[in-house]
Amino acid sequence: MAERWRPAQEWELAPDDVIDVWRFDLEVRGHDWAILTPDEARAARRIVVDEKRDRKASSRGHLRRILARYLSTRPKDVRFTYGEHGKPMLAEHDEPRFNLSDSESKGLVAVCWGARIGVDIEFAREERAFTDIADRFFSPTESAALRALPSEDRPAAFYRAWTRKEAYLKAWGTGLSFGSDRFTLDYAGDGPGSLLTTEMPDDEASRWHFRGVELGPAYTGAICFEGPDRPLRWWTI
């Protein structure tokens, strides 16, 4: 059962020991547009479809509201800087680390201290050529594992692998500059999964932890974070 927001004093006791996970619907709230910077509002306004434009504003608005709580500041005063491949980080603080993903009408933000973190959610739209996409984006071992499954099990396994792979890349912040076929996950079964091998410079597979995220029918979500392993604390706003 997701928890509602509680006052900061109660949960700031041991922030290093937990990953905070925020789930939300991408509905525009009253101040969403007003708390965006001119650059953020301009980027959102470039989106042609009304619903998608509002969802982009809502997603950034939620991110600002969430981070403001940790920083004890106003949402509009949260300042971002961006990594080489566009990963947002806090401009004036090293911590907490965070990452955001949105898809269709849902959004997800994870926040933690002392570890790289990445999240991804995907809305399953239609039947897709799962094995062909896997041949292109997965490692040969992962792709073979997908083909070995009965065809009715492939869609769920595909999204499980895809979101975990994307979450790992988002934890590093590399975007597409690091090939998604250059690391291999064990994503069999309903468990969290694990990283088996990686060619990422200065990385070790055993350093990473994965978790699935429940978001409702047709959604798959994943979180990837660096050790030590720790529990997730769920929030809904």
Residues that bind ligand COA (CB under 6 A): 59-60, 85-88, 99-102, 118, 120, 137, 162, 165-166, 170, 173, 175-176, 180
Q: For ligand COA, which is the closer residue by CB, 37 or 73?
A: 37
CA distances from 4 to 22, 32, 131 (A): 10, 20, 40
Strand pairing class (232-236; 19-25): parallel
Cβ atoms < 10 Å from Cβ of 138? 24
Q: Is 113 left (phi over 0), alpha (psi -120 to 50) or beta?
A: beta
Residues 6+ apart with CB under 8 A from 94: none
Task: Give min distance, CB of 72 to ligand COA, in A.
Answer: 22
Between residues 99 and 198, which has the closer beta carbon with respect to ligand COA? 99
Rounded Cα distance, 221 and 18, in Å = 18
Between residues 101 and 220, which has the closer beta carbon with respect to ligand COA?
Answer: 101
How far is the C-alpha of 6 from the C-alpha of 170, rounded, in Å?
A: 28
What are the CA-CA distances from residue 222 to residues 15, 70, 114, 187, 209 (Å)?
Answer: 21, 22, 19, 11, 10
Distance of closest approach, residue 9 Cβ to ligand COA, in angstroms: 28
We find the least distance from the C-beta atom of residue 189 to ligand COA, in angstroms, to be 19
Q: Is the CB of 85 or the CB of 230 nearer to ligand COA?
A: 85
Residues counted in the chain: 237
Q: Determine the 3-state secondary structure of 110 from DSSP.
A: strand
Closest distance of CB 137 from ligand COA, Å: 4
Which one, 69 or 181, has the nearer CB to ligand COA?
181
Closest C-alpha among 148, 142, 235 to residue 193:
142
Report yes or no: 53 and 65 within 8 Å, Cβ to Cβ. Answer: no
Report, in Å, the least distance between residue 36 CB and ligand COA: 10
Residue 43 or residue 232: which is nearer to ligand COA going by CB?
43
For ligand COA, give the closer residue by CB, 11 or 226. Answer: 226
Closest distance between ligand COA and the C-beta of residue 14, in Å? 26
What is the nearest approach in angstroms of ligand COA to the Cβ of residue 98? 9
